[in-house]
A and B are shown apart, each in its own frame.
Chain A
Amino acid sequence: MAKAGSSKGGATLLVATRKGLWQVKSDPARRRWRVAGPQFLGHVIHHCIADPRNSRTVLAAARTGHLGPTIFRSTDRGKTWHEAKQPPAFREGSGRVVDHTFWLTPGHASQPDVWYAGTSPQGLFRSTDRGATWQGVEGFNEHPSRKAWCGGDQDGTPDGAKLHSVLIDPREPKHMYIGMSSGGVFESTDGGADWRPLNRGVRADFLPQPDPEYGHDPHCVRLHPALPDRLYQQNHCGIYRLDRPGERWQDIGASMPKSVGSIGFPIVVHPRDPDTLWVFPMDGSKVWPRVSPGGRAAVYRSVNGGQSWQRQARGLPATQAWLTVKRQAMCADAGDPAGVYFGTTSGEIWASRDEGRGWKCIAAHLPEIYAVETA
């Protein structure tokens, strides 16, 4: 899918946090940044994303600590918002309740009114009216194997089990992938009517059987827009690459330095080069601290599809930087060179205007950052 966020005229970041939504905007050179907001102050915003097919449309997934989940829609680039008439909700009688919408994905370029949403617990929803009303993708939500794939809704992780990484093949709108924590990666070739697991080669060393068909924990899955047969995933158990029509993921995290490891949450692909990607390693040892290993914050980039990795830490604090970056909180813009951005759970946004070579903190003191997307 074409990525929003051309650097012409500057970049805009949509920053979704546990306490509201901010927009961070740059000058054309992406050197100076201005923080605007908040909007929805006090609302938990899990994801906010602009529509690359129509950049005036922006959707935000929201809830509060006490109120149920909803979707807000803007048709003027985020200046004003209207609530969805019918937010994602499971079928009455199913016994399932959407806790929050976690992930939003604009649909295929040929279907300009279609959006997808992934929820916690794992559910997949589709809107055919630009986010005003949402219907369950019953081919997934009612699939007879869904419970086997995902476990029960009470089996999730502390922040809740999630359906994320809804990926649409830019060549074929009926060809889709989803990622689930937990559950694994699944593929549909019929617009969501049926699904099958796609996890061969991915470890699940937390399960009794380390090489199961499903039950894995992909943290973030990306498809390259210029080479849609190339998938990458940052998993609970390493970093992987899949070249379709192949079925077996390759472990590309094995080439990370052993002292750093291959654990993290986000993974970001370059806007044009399918062989270039970034990850933000975190400590996955013992009780899973999920912070920069050793307090030495760094991004790692590969320019050869994961065969080797380079540390990119210039400008980041050299010591005592215990950063956590969530799976939706790292992205790239479409500039040349590409800008790369990440937001931390400690409320900082770091930006690189040269594909990760140098980093600058462009915002601080925000609430816990859940997602950063270019607009």
Chain B
Amino acid sequence: MRVLIPNPLRSYTREAAAVTASGTTLDELTLDLDRRFPGMRFRIVDEQRQIRPHVKFFVNGSQQRDLGAPLADADEVMIVCALSGG
């Protein structure tokens, strides 16, 4: 499926803004992303398998807070990083 990569993570994707990865859940998707782009998962998912506080996942435009959320090949996943303050 198509995964849209935010700017802060593009150092892992050789600056690609969109990549292809697979998985039947968000958890599997982030594991596959990590296989393709080593190190990426731990920046967005912590060691207790929780999405990090300032990282959001949108599946076909709807936010998913649970890594167990199911995915289909035709889905589009967008990763968003939120930053505020100086």
Question: B39 at the A/B interface (Cβ < 8 Å)?
Answer: yes
- Known contacts A85-B38, A85-B39, A89-B42: A67-B8 contact under CB 8 Å: yes
A68 touching B48, Cβ below 8 Å: no
A contact patch SS: loop
Q: How large is the interface on B (under 10, 10 to 19, 20 to 34, 35 or more residues)?
A: 20 to 34
Bound together, the chains give a CA A65 to CA B83 distance in angstroms of 6
**Closest B residue, CB atoms, query A88:** B47
Q: Residue B49 contacts which of A67, A68, A87, A92 (CB distance < 8 angstroms)? A: A92
- Known contacts A65-B54, A66-B8, A66-B54: A97-B46 contact under CB 8 Å: yes
- Known contacts A65-B83, A65-B85, A66-B8: A98-B43 contact under CB 8 Å: no
Bound together, the chains give a CA A66 to CA B9 distance in angstroms of 10
Q: Cβ of B1: which chain A residues have Cβ within 8 Å of it?
A: none
A90 touching B81, Cβ below 8 Å: no
B contact patch SS: loop
Question: A250 at the A/B interface (Cβ < 8 Å)?
Answer: no
Q: Cβ of A245: which chain B residues have Cβ within 8 Å of it?
A: none
B83 touching A90, Cβ below 8 Å: no
Q: Cβ of B47: which chain A residues have Cβ within 8 Å of it?
A: 89-92, 96-98
B82 touching A92, Cβ below 8 Å: no
Beyond A68-B46, A92-B49: 11 further Cβ-contacts under 8 Å? Answer: A65-B84, A66-B8, A67-B9, A68-B43, A83-B38, A85-B39, A92-B48, A93-B48, A95-B48, A97-B50, A98-B46
**Between-chain CB contacts (< 8 Å), 25 pairs:** A64-B8, A65-B54, A66-B8, A66-B55, A66-B82, A66-B83, A67-B8, A67-B9, A67-B43, A67-B44, A68-B42, A68-B44, A68-B45, A68-B52, A83-B38, A84-B39, A85-B38, A85-B39, A87-B42, A89-B46, A91-B47, A92-B49, A95-B48, A97-B48, A98-B47
